[in-house]
């Protein structure tokens, strides 16, 4: 007998050096957490280690694996899904910020906010393409009806796309979903109504000690 509700803790990965330096990572840059990112991951674990997660889901990128590493050491089953990867920012990923790229990204994001979410990054993905693959991941996750409490670690832009989609909002509204490294969105999915609810937005109370 499975529960009619699935509770989902959705977090963004911890800080990487690329984050610190303002360099776009995307799905093509497989960077590791820096020292601050590891401390953020530890702080989240310290706050939530007693939550009886039945499964941990991550993207295939190492920064999400490292963020939940302590939970995996507890023996919680882990499944990685490529469909949870960050958006591909294409040919400009991993480049040191410069005025030309900054202007390119500014115009791309403005286009998305105006509703042109079908426009991909150069040699990369569009928000609509990411949403399509995320639906595949959601279908896999929701099919596991015996899992009523799970943890998902993913990426900033991908989270915004996912949260807009599950909220029934156009992807042009995705920027209303704020995020920080290792922020927590708590979600609930009702199998009877096939609806998601967002119970907690961009919560970083577990990181307060790190700001001292």
Task: Kindly state the helix (H) or strand (E) to which residue 46 belongs, with its residue range.
Answer: helix 35-48
Please state, in angstroms and rounded to a whole number, the distance separating the CA atoms of residues 72 and 55: 9
Residues in the chain: 212
pLDDT for residue 3: 76
Q: Name the H helices within 49-181.
A: 62-67, 69-73, 99-113, 127-143, 156-166
Question: How confident is the chain (212 residues) per 10-residue block, as mean pLDDT?
Answer: 87 97 93 97 97 98 98 98 97 92 94 97 97 98 97 98 97 97 98 96 93 58
Q: How far is CA 156 from CA 26, 50, 146, in A?
A: 9, 25, 28
For the chain, counts of helices (H) and of strands (E): 7, 6
The pTM of the full predicted model, rounded to 2 decimals, is: 0.96
CATH topology of domain 5-211: Rossmann fold (3.40.50)
The tokens of 37 are what? Answer: 């990112």
The tokens of 190 are what? Answer: 């009702």
pLDDT for residue 2: 66
Bridge partner residues of 198 (DSSP): 187
Bridge partner residues of 7 (DSSP): 149, 188
pLDDT for residue 1: 47
Domain boundaries along the sequence of the chain: 5-211
Tokens 């509770």 -> residue: 7
pLDDT for residue 209: 82
């Amino acid at each position: 007998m499975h529960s009619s509700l699935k509770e989902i803790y959705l977090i963004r990965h911890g800080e990487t050096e690329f984050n610190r330096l303002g360099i776009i990572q995307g799905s093509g840059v497989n960077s590791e957490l820096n020292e601050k990112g590891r401390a953020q991951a530890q702080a989240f674990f310290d706050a939530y280690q007693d939550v009886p997660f039945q499964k941990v889901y991550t993207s295939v990128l190492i920064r999400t694996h490292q963020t939940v590493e302590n939970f995996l050491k507890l023996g919680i089953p882990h499944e990685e899904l490529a469909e949870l990867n960050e958006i591909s920012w294409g040919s400009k990923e991993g480049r040191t910020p410069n005025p030309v790229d900054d202007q390119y990204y500014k115009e791309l994001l403005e286009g998305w906010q105006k509703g042109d979410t079908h426009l991909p990054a150069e040699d990369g993905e569009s928000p609509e393409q990411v949403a399509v693959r995320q639906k595949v991941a959601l279908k896999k996750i929701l099919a596991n009806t015996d899992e009523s409490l799970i943890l998902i670690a993913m990426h900033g832009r991908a989270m915004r796309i996912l949260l807009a989609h599950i909220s029934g909002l156009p992807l042009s509204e995705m920027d209303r979903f704020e995020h920080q490294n290792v922020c927590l969105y708590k979600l609930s999915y009702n199998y009877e109504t096939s609806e998601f609810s967002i119970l907690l937005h961009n919560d970083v109370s577990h990181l307060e000690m790190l700001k001292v």
